[in-house]
Amino acid sequence: MAVEIVLPPELRPSDGRFGSGPSKVRNEAVAALAAAAPQYLGTSHRRETVRSVVRRARTGLAALFALPDGYEVLLGNGGTTAFWDAAAFGLIERHSQHLSFGEFSSKFAAVVQGAPHLDAPEVIESPAGTHPEARPDDGVDAYALTHNETSTGVAMEVRRPEGADGLVLVDATSGAGGLRVDATQFDAYYFAPQKCFAGDGGLWLACCSPRAIERTERLGASDRWLPPSLSLPIALENSRLDQTYNTPALATLFLLAHQVEWMLEQGGLEWAASRCDRSAEILYGWAEASSFATPFVAKPGERSHVSATVDFAEHVDAAAVAATLRANDIVDTEPYRKLGRNQLRIALYPAIEPDDVATLTRAVEYVVDALASG
């Protein structure tokens, strides 16, 4: 039985959370929240105590991503999934082009397909484990890219399609804060804090260019119906006041601000991305040298450095490995449920120690050997 395999102490990472989201929250951030709690939790989100935390998160993100003048950080409730709906109302004028290469990128395309006020989107697909390229087209007013497709472990460079005039909207839910990005290449770079920002879910954040803000204001002033909770002009107005339109989860905001400031203190995005590079090198290097594991993504340049997927040979049952790891407090290494592969998916976000990734690879080897001989 898998549960009977007990990992020796030297094969236990200092922290066993390797899930791709919700993901590891740093203990230091939780301790800081606990210390701040008596004056912070349970206080009004429209007062300075909470608004100063929102301000720290917004200014910290602007610094982290080196946002050019005129770019603004918007936020609202509902996570990335709600932002897709908000974008369908407030950022896509009529016709969008979507790169669809996994569960999340296909979901945004489906939102737009169902929106009665928009034209049918152009959807460019590629098989799981790869990503397609955008096709510049004068008729497209918004390109929907995904920095990191968390369901498959494929990352793509954020780049404006050559000569394209449409807005570039990037789902960076799991990529933001762990992958390098040049802000001049996007108009909206949106994400949620439960991945690289080591917070909790339920919030969306979007770094928006002046063109994106202009689009949002123009569509807001048109006769298009905008449900208030999904209205980007309302979100903009509130974000400028360092608050959300309706009540947010205060702990999430605190953890986000703490993580952003931690990243900035350590050296900013370049530091964070380099740390993810190191973890990725450890993990993929191990898989390539292993007799039973292989990186799922064939092209090294497309392999995610924030959420890695590793296929196992048929004779090794990845589900049994993940279950054994879980019984030893190493959690959430299971693959994305709908991908249906014999693989492990391992988060490499900045909060995760590269040394813990190395220990994890040794733990996997140990478990595979023990399962084979058991």
Q: Which residues in this chain contact ligand PLP in the complex, by CB under 6 A? A: 21, 79-81, 104, 146, 150, 171, 173-174, 192, 201
Exposure string over 65-99, b if 16+ CB within 10 A, otherwise e: bebeeebbbbbbbbbbebbbbbbbbbbbbebbbbb
For ligand PLP, which is the closer residue by CB, 204 or 284? 204
For ligand PLP, which is the closer residue by CB, 173 or 239? 173
Give the span between the Cα atoms of 54 and 69, in whole angstroms: 20
Alpha carbon of 155 to those of 53, 106, 141, 176, 205: distances in Å? Answer: 31, 15, 23, 11, 20
Whose CB is nearest to ligand PLP? 79
Residue 144's beta-bridge partner residues?
98, 169
For ligand PLP, which is the closer residue by CB, 32 or 339? 339
The distance of closest approach from Cβ of residue 332 to ligand PLP in the complex, given in angstroms and rounded to an integer, is 12
Give the span between the Cα atoms of 359 and 327, in whole angstroms: 16
In the structure encoding, which two tokens stand for residue 106, read together?
Answer: 């296909």
Termini Cα distance of the chain: 8
The distance of closest approach from Cβ of residue 192 to ligand PLP in the complex, given in angstroms and rounded to an integer, is 4
The distance of closest approach from Cβ of residue 21 to ligand PLP in the complex, given in angstroms and rounded to an integer, is 5
Which residue type sits at 8? P
Residues 6+ apart with CB under 8 A from 160: 143, 168, 185, 186
For ligand PLP, which is the closer residue by CB, 171 or 187? 171
The distance of closest approach from Cβ of residue 115 to ligand PLP in the complex, given in angstroms and rounded to an integer, is 17
Give the residue among 294, 351, 295, 365 at the shortest CA–CA distance from 28.
Answer: 351
For ligand PLP, which is the closer residue by CB, 96 or 150? 150
The distance of closest approach from Cβ of residue 107 to ligand PLP in the complex, given in angstroms and rounded to an integer, is 7
The distance of closest approach from Cβ of residue 317 to ligand PLP in the complex, given in angstroms and rounded to an integer, is 25
For ligand PLP, which is the closer residue by CB, 79 or 90? 79
